[in-house]
A and B are shown apart, each in its own frame.
Chain A
Amino acid sequence: MKEITEQSVTITTEKARQMRRNIISMLGQAGSGHTGGSLSASDIVACLYFWEMNIDPKNPGWEARDRFVLSKGHAAPVLYAALAEKGFFPQDYLNRLRKLGSPLQGHPDMRKLPGVEASTGSLGQGISWAVGMALAGKMDQKPYRVYALLGDGEIEEGMVWEASMAAAHYKLDNLTAFIDNNGLQIDGRVEEVMSPLPIPDKFRAFGWEVLEIDGHDHRQIMQALNTARTVQNRPTAVIAHTIKGKGCSFMENRAEWHGVAPKPDEVEKALAELS
């Protein structure tokens, strides 16, 4: 059980704010990309990279490292912001998001950027990657833990439930999956597009330990991570209630910010709110 201190919450909160600023800046420069879902996941990813995970940016291939798979690969900016902040690569890489020859591809490419654990972007595949990594860890009796982040729209993909079945079947208690439950996908509210509700019951029925939290409350995120580490013989799903576009008032809870980058004046406005 890791202690959740005032100081650790201050650190991750500050990291999340900086990551959100970088997300806005890199997307503004890129001129395209997925803003809303990067902002909704920032607090979860900040807590993973700056509180929870055992990783070494100087040695990204370290065998015993914990592994994070961004299954909702379109939220690449949140991953890039975390990796840059952690020191996996120079901050100025962020200026080249989505540009020709850049290691920062539109969706995460593990062959191009250190620290990226899986090439994702086609929804549903990342959770299976994470199952594969967790299974290999069990087989080789490695101490590392595996984390995945999925969108709530993403879980409409059938293979997510194939993976969920396998994770429970193989008793992967070294696996924790966060569901970034911001309630919106490209075409609108998830329950209107194709309802995956009730999400907690579904994971519970598939044999997972299920926790429900406010995905912007760092203490709750850390508490969930602490709990997940104590769960035995089954994987843990953390259903994190979040707000799409969190941190930029004019983006919050608006589906139209799913796949749109801010224009220069919007960048300015957003950065002012995140200062």
Chain B
Amino acid sequence: MEQPGTSQEPLLLGSSGDSLREAFGKSLVTLADRYDNFVVLDADVAGGTGTHHFRRAYPKRFFQFGIAEQNMMAVAAGMAATGLVPFVTTFAVFCLRAYEQARLSVAYAGRNVKIVASHPGLDVGPDGGSAQALEDLAAFRAIPGMVVVSPADPLEVEQATEAILNYNGPVYMRTGRSPVLRVLPADYSFELGKGKIIQDGIDATIVACGVELARALTAADLLARESISARVVNMSTIKPIDDELLAKCALETGCIVTAEDHNIYGGLGSAVAESLVGNHLCPAEMVGIKDRFGESGEPEELAEKYGITADYICKAVKKAITRKQY
């Protein structure tokens, strides 16, 4: 269990940091010397995914494929078949473009390829609905054997990047476009397949991932003013989901609210619901985009319009609490 108050660098918490994509690009550079077996593949968006940092530092381990994602994905599988560990990097919508290559050449063939997608969700902002992937978690979660990860802040991106490198198998990881708050304490430790309680509470559990974790923590603070004690879980591994922690939260707090910058169908909310149905049933509410495409606007404006701000999480928590059976 992690408590922000116990952090050794509490002043950093909440300060504006890098975007998740910048953190990813810098993490690759940090990891490159210790892990000489990985390479980075790009489809003309290195400046957008953060991998330009790696290209500058390790040009011989960086491969440009131009605007041709399907080829890039299957090339990665071929490179992986020789023992290299390729990071396939592009925007989340373009990972969907190479979905069938990810299915057959990467996952079916069991290749050790890491697909890392920037620009997911409404967080993309002004580029609009065409560029905002609201279905990537659902799509990649449905591929047998594909691990799906969505870290919440730069610190977690760094840890998760190393963790997926140490895991032997196909992984899909989301980063993010917009600068984010540092929300996790300095002693935070990412574990693949584990959710982490970031803030404890007894009346409800908010389970969030990615950029939505910051909103979940804000929601918990707002709820505290109304004497509602909400536990906040960072569920950065969406697949395999942490069944054990979810059952514990269901048992201890009696209801769960999920929060994600993704369609309510198929993403974190669905994964949590599937887990609860199979393990420990409790009332649950989902905060996410309600089966619509996005549009242009600033991420915060879009979050408000599409119902994924802290206020909407608060409402969902209250609703879930009223549905509890005593």
Min C-beta distance of B159 to chain A, whole Å? 28
Does the CB pair B105–A136 fall under 8 Å? no
Pick from B68, B101, B110: contact of A165, CB under 8 Å: B68
Does the CB pair B78–A118 fall under 8 Å? yes
A sample of 24 inter-chain contacts (CB < 8 A) reads A109-B108, A110-B109, A118-B109, A122-B100, A128-B101, A129-B74, A129-B75, A130-B78, A132-B79, A132-B82, A132-B86, A135-B75, A135-B79, A136-B79, A136-B83, A137-B82, A139-B39, A139-B60, A139-B84, A140-B82, A158-B70, A159-B70, A159-B74, A166-B71
In the complex, the chain A residue whose C-beta lies closest to that of B63 is: A135
Does the CB pair B75–A132 fall under 8 Å? yes
In the complex, the chain A residue whose C-beta lies closest to that of B43 is: A162
Bound CA–CA A110/B82 (angstroms): 13
Partner-B contacts on A (CB < 8 A): 63, 69, 109-111, 117-122, 124-126, 128-137, 139-140, 142, 158-159, 162-163, 165-166, 169
Bound CA–CA A122/B65 (angstroms): 21
**B76 in the interface (beta carbon within 8 A):** yes
The residues of B that contact A163 with a CB separation of less than 8 Å are: 71, 74-75
Min C-beta distance of B285 to chain A, whole Å? 39
Top 5 A-B pairs, shortest CB-CB distance: A132-B78, A128-B74, A162-B71, A162-B68, A129-B78
**B104 in the interface (beta carbon within 8 A):** yes
**B47 in the interface (beta carbon within 8 A):** no
In the complex, the chain B residue whose C-beta lies closest to that of A122 is: B104
Q: Considering the complex, which residues of chain B in the window 62-99 have a beta carbon less than 8 Å from any beta carbon of chain A?
A: 63, 65-66, 68, 70-71, 73-84, 86
Does the CB pair A159–B109 fall under 8 Å? no
Kindly count the residue-residue contacts between A and B in the assembled complex, taking CB atoms under 8 Å apart: 104
In the complex, the chain A residue whose C-beta lies closest to that of B80 is: A132
The residues of B that contact A63 with a CB separation of less than 8 Å are: 82-83
The residues of B that contact A162 with a CB separation of less than 8 Å are: 65-66, 68, 70-71
In the complex, the chain A residue whose C-beta lies closest to that of B104 is: A122
Does the CB pair B71–A159 fall under 8 Å? yes
Question: How many chain B residues touch the partner (CB < 8 A)?
Answer: 28
Partner-A contacts on B (CB < 8 A): 39, 60, 63, 65-66, 68, 70-71, 73-84, 86, 100-101, 104-105, 108-110
The residues of A that contact B63 with a CB separation of less than 8 Å are: 135
Does the CB pair A166–B101 fall under 8 Å? no
The residues of B that contact A110 with a CB separation of less than 8 Å are: 81, 109-110
Min C-beta distance of B177 to chain A, whole Å? 25
Bound CA–CA A32/B86 (angstroms): 37
Bound CA–CA A141/B284 (angstroms): 55
The residues of B that contact A126 with a CB separation of less than 8 Å are: 74
The residues of A that contact B82 with a CB separation of less than 8 Å are: 63, 132-133, 136-137, 140, 142
Among A111, A118, A125, A140: residue with most chain B CB under 10 A: A125
The residues of A that contact B71 with a CB separation of less than 8 Å are: 128, 131, 159, 162-163, 165-166
A contact face: mostly helix, strand, loop, or mixed: helix
Bound CA–CA A128/B73 (angstroms): 8
The residues of A that contact B74 with a CB separation of less than 8 Å are: 124-126, 128-129, 132, 159, 163
Min C-beta distance of B274 to chain A, whole Å? 27
Bound CA–CA A95/B100 (angstroms): 31
Q: A158-B70, A159-B74 are in contact. Are A125 and B108 (CB under 8 A)?
A: no
In the complex, the chain B residue whose C-beta lies closest to that of A157 is: B70
In the complex, the chain B residue whose C-beta lies closest to that of A159 is: B70
Bound CA–CA A142/B83 (angstroms): 13
Min C-beta distance of A66 to chain B, whole Å? 12
Min C-beta distance of B279 to chain A, whole Å? 31
In the complex, the chain A residue whose C-beta lies closest to that of B109 is: A119
Does the CB pair B78–A133 fall under 8 Å? yes
Bound CA–CA A131/B78 (angstroms): 7
The residues of A that contact B104 with a CB separation of less than 8 Å are: 119-122, 125
Bound CA–CA A192/B63 (angstroms): 38
In the complex, the chain A residue whose C-beta lies closest to that of B39 is: A139
Bound CA–CA A118/B77 (angstroms): 9
Min C-beta distance of A136 to chain B, whole Å? 4
Among A69, A119, A133: residue with most chain B CB under 10 A: A119
Min C-beta distance of B181 to chain A, whole Å? 38
The residues of A that contact B110 with a CB separation of less than 8 Å are: 110-111
Pick from A125, A134, A169: contact of B105, CB under 8 Å: A125
Does the CB pair B109–A111 fall under 8 Å? yes
Min C-beta distance of B64 to chain A, whole Å? 8
In the complex, the chain A residue whose C-beta lies closest to that of B84 is: A136
Bound CA–CA A130/B81 (angstroms): 10
Bound CA–CA A95/B242 (angstroms): 44
